[in-house]
Amino acid sequence: MAKLTTDELLDAFKEMTLIELSEFVKQFEETFGVTAAAPVAVAAAPAAGGAAGGDDAAAAQDEFDVILEAAGDKKINVIKEVRALTSLGLKEAKDLVEGAPKAILEKVNKETADKAKESLEGAGATVTLK
């Protein structure tokens, strides 16, 4: 097998979805017995640990995900709100809104989640907190 350059590896990672990248990081960690310090790996680890927590996590939930269920009739306003909340570019925010249901914010506190939900609903979107 030919050795890949760093640029070739980065190009391959750019083509992967977050789920595929998360699975890659887990397999990499298992294969080499290391822990990755990348933000993707850190975000993936609490999700797996949180699922195992079960009732304890539900009783004292302090982190919430803001899920955009539907953009509604005023999609442009919703895209503007998504950009304001996430600092995504126009194309990324548009793709996120059009791909609903999607998580807009993950692992945020109750106050931030409520503000985000209020602003998105004010723009015409349907939002849930999990």
Burial class, 93, CB count within 10 angstroms (exposed 0-12 / middle 13-18 / buried 19+): buried
- For 50-59, what is each residue's pLDDT tens digit? 444 444 545 5
Return the DSSP state at 4: P
- Express each pLDDT in 45-96 by its tens digit: 444 444 444 445 455 677 888 888 888 888 899 899 888 888 888 888 888 8
